[in-house]
Homo-oligomer: A and B are copies of this chain.
Amino acid sequence: MKITIADNQAVTLGAAAQKILTVPENGIGLCPVRDILDRIGDKWSMLSILHLGSVESLRFNELRKRIDGISQRMLTVTLRSLETDGLVARKVYAEVPPRVEYRLTSLGVSLLEAMIEFGNWANEHAPQIAQARAAFAAKEQA
């Protein structure tokens, strides 16, 4: 059987996909991809990281204004979650009125880099997806 270049790519990609699905012994005890996604796959985490990544640091309400539609409660919850995972650093200044600054840690920055790759994919392929949806909707009419 002749192996084409396309087949070779498929095999390589398949191996990479399988590798991600395997559960290593790493102290989390879950497939890392699922684990990370459970954290940052929620409604606000990615957005928070992107906004924090676009400047050096932001105060609580500055960030709140930038993330359109987020409630005070959810910003608190989201930031606490990101802080727990070591992606965001929280610094409190002993002033009146209080001032709290958030910024990405180096770990958070490395995640941002990975996310930007992903974001680029989303931007590049958005038209194709829109087209696919339209085609699917049209086919459902029949």
Contact = CB atoms under 8 A, between A and B. Distances in A.
Interface of A: 10, 13-21, 24, 26-28, 32-37, 41-42, 46-47, 50-51, 53-56, 83-87, 107, 109-123, 125-133, 135-136
Given A20-B116, A85-B133, A131-B86, A122 B56 contact: no
B85 A33 contact: no
A129 B28 contact: yes
A120 B114 CA distance: 9
Given A18-B54, A118-B33, A136-B84, A125 B107 contact: yes
Contacts of A16: 116, 119
B32 A86 contact: no
